[in-house]
Structure formats: C-alpha cells, structure tokens
Structure 1
Amino acid sequence: MHDAAPQTTRQTDLMDPARANALLAALGRPAVIETGDPLPPFFHQLHFWDARPPVALGRDGHPRVGGLIPDLGLPRRMWAGGTLDFLAPLCAGIPAEKRTSCESVARKTGRSGPLAFVTLRHQVMQEGVLCVDERQDVVYREDPAPGAPQPVPPVARDDEDEALPAEFDSTLLFRYSALTFNGHRIHYDADYCREVEGYAAPVVHGPLLAQLLMLMAEDRAPLRRFAFRATAPVTLGETVTLCRKGTDAWIRGVDGRQCMSAELSF
C-alpha cells in the first residue's frame, strides 16, 4: 500500500440538461429532463469533463498519468468498480462542483502479473450540499503476453426475479464515449484492442454497464447506494442480461459468465 498524493482537484459544471436527455435518448428512454429536475443516478458522469490537449494524453487516449494518479509503470487501465452514495438530489441546470482526490494506491501480483489498484474519491456538491459521494476503483496492469490465455470469468447466478436484455452496437459505444468525453481507445479502436490490449473486439464501458443496472433498479425505487465490481469484459455486438434479485444485481453473458456484480440499497 502506498500513500496517495495529497492533492484534490476541483471542477465546476453547469449540469446542462441537454446531456442528460442525450443519454436517455441513446438508451432508448424518453428525454424528459428539464432545468431543476433531479438527474437519474450516475448521470454526473456526463459532466465535469477533463478535456486535455493531445500532448497530455497517454497511448490509450486517456489523460496521461502523473499528479493525482501516480505513474505506476503499468500501461493498461480499466474501471474495476466502485461505490456510490446518493445523498441528496443532484439537479439539472444548476451549477455544481466536483472534488476529486486519490485515496489509495496498492500494488499486488495476480495470475496475470503485477497490478495496481487506485481508489479515487469524487464528491459532487450543489448549492453547498453534498449530493453524490463516489469511490471509483481503477486497476492498472501490464500488456498481455503474446498468446496468453484469457482469465476465466466467474459463472453468473440464474435465480433472478427480474431480467432485461441489453445490446451494444458501435453507435451506442460512440455516443456514450462522446457524452462522457472518454477517449479510451478500447471502446472504439478495434486494431488497438486486439493488437495492444488483447481484447477480441471493442469493449463496452464498465460505467455504461453499471448505469444500466442503476436505471433498472431506479425504475423500482430510488437508489441510496450502489456498489459494483466488473468481473469480465463485454464486447461490441454482445447481448447480455441485466439481472436483479432483491438487493443483488448482476450482468450475465450469453455464455453464462458474470460480467458485473452489484449490491443495491434503496
């Protein structure tokens, strides 16, 4: 375990309702958000863009590490999971502030080699009230060795009370990348995916998968907390099943693998 950098970044955003409506439209939902309306859970991801010039980006299209996230010498980045507490309504069209700090950095050795786990804390304030308190877990790892076998994913449960199919085409991945200003090449550059990071095809965004589980849960009751962990990638063209049983939620691939697990609090 390493001490995190004693640094906090602050960003402000007007929380334009047009972005919320654009994501709702991309997901096939009615675009009904107006100024003053509470945003759906996790929609703060559409705001507080970290827009940097090309010279400040890494090879993967993400902002280059260093500063808030230290350079750990591990080139591959993946959003591994996180916990979100929804403490007060975050409303569209009202200025908000996001404060981000690095809480911890831990190095480990896994079956695929050295890993580093970074936990970022994001606090979103509006009119002096803490609305969202989020801990984001990011994992960094080495490039895959040529011919290395893929990790064996866990098997998903099949005892859900609620199930919804979800499909991912290139248009949805493009629109989500654009709305979140996410330049990570694993989501759109097929050659980079195969030749550099070892994926068979472009990868569906982990937060997009989490977003779909949150919306499914929010359709039943307001969420107070959502804790999730990505366990296997979903790639372009796949159809998966969003599942829920009580306060447990998960995503199952057509081959039965578990792609994401989550715990809900209402």
Structure 2
Amino acid sequence: MPDPRDPSIRTDRIDPERAAAMHATFALTGSPPGPGDLLPPFWHWCQFWDIHPPGALGRDGHPRPGLALPDTGLPRRMWAGGRLEWHAPLRIGAPAERRSRVLSTTRKAGRSGPLAFVTLRHEIFSEDGLAVTEEQDIVYREDPRPGDATPQPGPAPRDETARESHRFDGTALFRYSALTFNGHRIHYDIDYCREVEGYPGLVVHGPILAQLMIRMAGRMLPRLARFSFRAASPVFHTETFETCARPEGTGLALWVRGPDGRLAMTATASPTPGDPA
C-alpha cells in the first residue's frame, strides 16, 4: 500500500461542485452531471489540486522548481503534450487517489536555444482499482531575447470531416485557472505575458484545447480508450480557433487550427479494442 504521507500521492473526492463548474466553464448545455454520475473524460483535471503557499511559488505562479518538478535551470514553462488511457470510470461523489512520479528529464538544443523536457506520470485509482493513466510532457526554455525571431508554426490540415469553432476570453481562462488551481500567470496576467514571456496575449491552456478535442472524439467514437496530443503553437484569448477531426484507421486524427490557418495542436484518439467503428 502507498504511504499516504507521500507528497506524490493526492486523495480527493470527485467533487460535484467542481464538475458543475467545469460544465459551466465550457458553456455546456443541459444539466451538469451530479453525484453518482460518471465523470466525463479529462474532467479529473479539476481534482487533485497541488496546493503550495505563496512563498513556494516561482515568478510564473507555478510551484517553484525543485518542489513538484525538477529544477531544469530554465525559467519558461510550457505544456508540450500528453497521453491518456481510460481503464475504468470515475464516479462523481466517490473517493479517488492520484499517484504521481517523474518518468524522465532530458535536455535538447532547439532552434531558439536549450530546452528541457520533463515527463510526469499520474495513475488515478477509484475504489475499484486503476481508472486513468496519464503522462504529461512539460518543456522548459530560456526567456526570449530582444530581436529574437518568433518561430513560425506550419499550416494546419484542411481535410477534416468535422469542425467546431471556439473562443476562450480572459474571463473563461481565469475561471479555468481557478477551477484547476493553476497559478501560471500566462493565462491571466497580460502584462506578464507581454513583458516577460513575450506573448501578444493571454495563452489558452493546453488542457483546454485537449479537452475540446476529447469532447469531439467522445461524440465520434463509440467509447474513448486512448488519447494522445502534442502542442505546436499557442492560441491566445483574442482568437477564435477551430477543433478539427477526421477518421484515421479505427480512431481519429484531430487538430486545433488558429484563425490564420496555423497548426496549434495535434492529437489522436482510439476506441476500446473490439468496439465497432
């Protein structure tokens, strides 16, 4: 049995109020799910808060390097992607436990300077056993220097069979940050975005983009079993963007397209083996 004093272990109750808040944040129609209902895929992001006092936070609002994640020596944190597998349902109102560990830390030379990649693995258990496995890829890089050219992302595909338009303004980003207890200032502090990180606007959370694609995949596949995504370029609070999908094998290829046609994120989704297409 795991040691409950281990900081890599978080216990929580799948809270119906947070589920209702997630439902409202994404402007979903109908009644939100309640106690006893299944937690929709990826909604575990509003559970298992990593809580640290202000003195333990870095300049960007995240826990200071060396606490929750290794200190890579690079100041800018970005979401690079992740992989999820759903094994069994989580029920709203029921207890759950998340066990976490760092899988790897690697350094690479990028076009804009050194990069460090940290991969974190979470396993979420219900009373019946393993429910969700998630791996998160986080990249760290140097601050932008005056005069540095901004890398230009490539164009997104245009062969989708399904497409939806979305916009997340500053209020929606703030609400999602509060719901997930994410203090990263790139999502709500416009001055920090422009003056420190070099972004033209507030950055839409990578997990928001992933959540929108997961919702699309959930409507197009009989039962969602696996989902993998990778960020390509940021989306900002001033932009209307599109989530797109097309069939690929027994699953789906998905992506996020910016208003200028740029590729912002790619993903693949797979159904439970043996399910009909």
Q: Hey, what does 2:261 align to over in structure 1?
A: 256
- String of CA shifts for 1:40-84, please: whole Å, max 9, x gaps: 111110000011110000000001111452111100001110000
Q: Hey, what does 1:26 align to over in structure 2?
A: 25
- Contact kept, 8 Å, 1:25 with 1:31, in 2: the verdict is no
Q: Secondary structure at the match of 1:19?
A: helix
Q: Hey, what does 1:244 align to over in structure 2?
A: 245
TM-score by length of 2: 0.92
CA displacement at 1:220 relative to structure 2: 2.6
CA displacement at 1:31 relative to structure 2: 3.6
Q: Secondary structure at the match of 1:224?
A: strand
- Hey, what's the Cα distance between the residues in 2 that align with 1:123 and 1:42? 13
Q: Secondary structure at the match of 1:164?
A: strand
CA displacement at 1:28 relative to structure 2: 1.4
- Hey, what's the Cα distance between the residues in 2 that align with 1:52 and 1:223? 34
Q: Secondary structure at the match of 2:212?
A: helix
- Hey, what's the Cα distance between the residues in 1 that align with 2:187 and 2:154? 23
CA displacement at 1:8 relative to structure 2: 7.0
- String of CA shifts for 1:79-132, please: whole Å, max 9, x gaps: 110000011111111010000100000000100100000000000000141100
CA displacement at 1:216 relative to structure 2: 1.2
Correspondences of 1:153-164 after superposition (within 5 Å): 153-164=153-164
Q: Percent identity?
A: 56
CA displacement at 1:148 relative to structure 2: 1.0
Q: Hey, what does 1:209 align to over in structure 2?
A: 209
Query: How many aligned residue pairs are there?
Result: 260
Correspondences of 1:91-106 after superposition (within 5 Å): 91-106=91-106
Unaligned runs of at least 5 residues, structure 1? 1-6
Q: Secondary structure at the match of 1:36?
A: coil
Q: Which has the higher contact order (CA 8 A, sep 6+)?
A: 1
- Hey, what's the Cα distance between the residues in 2 that align with 1:32 and 1:193? 33
